[in-house]
Amino acid sequence: MKSVNVQIDKIFAPASAVTAADIEALKPEIEAAHALLHNGKGKGNDFLGWVNLPSSVTAAELDKIEAAARTLRDEADIVIAIGIGGSYLGAKAVLEALSGSFDHLSAPRKGTNPKVLFAGQNISEDYTWELMQAVKDYDIAAIVISKSGTTTEPAIAFRIVRDEIERRYGKAGAARRIAAVTDSAKGALRTLADTEGYPTFVIPDDVGGRYSVLTPVGLLPLAVAGVDIRALVAGAAEMEKFTAEAPFSENPAMQYAAARTALYRSGKKIEILASYEPKLQNIGEWWKQLYGESEGKEGKGIFPASVTLTADLHSMGQYIQQGERTIFETVIRVAEPAHTFRIESDRENLDGLNFLAGKRIGEVNQMAILGTMLAHVDGGVPNIAVELPRIDAHTVGALLYMFEKACGISGYALGVNPFDQPGVEAYKKNMFALLGKPGYEQEGEELRKRL
């Protein structure tokens, strides 16, 4: 499997409590956890639709998604994707990874792929106002993504965006400019979409939000933005097949899960996902939800954090090097940049950099990666390397699936249900009570006494 390679040898440093023998001893447990994902006998087995999702996406389904994307592109300069958590993080992560770093500086214009902006991932009044101001001079459309249609953050955003679209283009125009990704048969959004005639796509019942990037949840916004969703799905399908068949020693998902499990049991409680490519920053945000929401329960779980290096070496580097030794790193390394930029010689050499003359910036970056890895390992921070040949749709699809598969394995090895999230309801109940939602009056009174 060439698209994603996981290397765990740097977790066996003298300062680490984990050995190669520990990983080998985990083999039966990791293989058993992997088997649970495929035989459906583990906890949360009603949410395993993602396991064989990439290979089950049909050409007809992709045709339908791409057709809807073309309609939205024809109608709008800007498409607002409305969702929260897994309903937006995957699309945002892939879009950022596959876009130019400064694409946001160019104004939307007809004849090009529309800008995809995001809403409903917060309840910030300023963000909402500024978003609506930013789009006021452009034709707009929307993709609303919600299983129920009643989740507070996206429901508020959709009400505002829908009102604006209807004000500009009328009900009939809105029906061409709004697409819904929702439940197949029930819920407020399904009812509204059917009533208003919005084109709809289904969130599969057996795929949880944080595993949904390869469903229309992620694929429709990405197709609108011009991402090659067929390559994305193909990369994931390749990784699906490989991780289903490859033996433990060659299986990137099993190796990653085994390394994380061994490190956690040795006392490493915090995992830092690091990359040296700014384009991958939101892959880190997606990864944090995937692992945090899957593993953080029953008083257990590795705390997921992320950094973008080398920038964060000048802020978090000191802690990583010499702080409390409860951390380990997983570093995403990209072998080949998409572009070439060489450092020129300077006659005065006042900055002392002529020793780099003729080298590509990517060469310097690679040496920074290796130098930092050795420093951190020597400082007692075990390192896992996730190596990618390049950043493209196929590779990113494979990476996403590898992380998903490894997460399911790790969760089962941890002894939790990796596919539920009971803890996220607590803040919602308190918020509803404090806002005076009908049925929450008594709770609201009690909470206000505590404030």
Residues annotated catalytic, as ranges:
293, 428
Distance of CA 322 to the CA centre of its chain: 29
Nearest to 381 by CA among 311, 327, 430, 422: 327
* Kind and range of the H or E run holding 322: helix 317-322
Q: Count Cβ atoms below 10 Å from residue 407 Cβ, excluding itself.
A: 24
Local structure of residue 214 (DSSP, 8 states): T
Q: What angle do CA 312, 280, 30 make, to 5 degrees?
A: 100
Strand partners, 79: 116, 141
Query: How far apart (Å, rounded) are the C-alpha atoms in residues 93 and 106?
Result: 20
Query: How far apart (Å, rounded) are the C-alpha atoms in residues 323 and 315?
Result: 13
CB within 8 Å of 138: residues ≥ 6 apart: 76, 77, 78, 108
Cβ proximity of 165 and 136 under 8 Å: no
Q: Count Cβ atoms below 10 Å from residue 104 Cβ, excluding itself.
A: 11
Strand blocks (E) in 31-114? 78-82
Local structure of residue 271 (DSSP, 8 states): E
Query: How far apart (Å, rounded) are the C-alpha atoms in residues 236 and 344?
Result: 40
From edge to edge, which strands make up the β-sheet containing 115-119? Answer: 115-119, 78-82, 140-145, 178-182, 200-202
Tell which phi-psi region holds residue 24, choosing left (phi > 0), alpha (psi between -120 and 50) or beta: alpha
Cβ proximity of 5 and 387 under 8 Å: yes
Strand partners, 115: 78
Q: Cis before residue 310, ω within 30 degrees of 0? A: yes
Cβ proximity of 111 and 81 under 8 Å: no
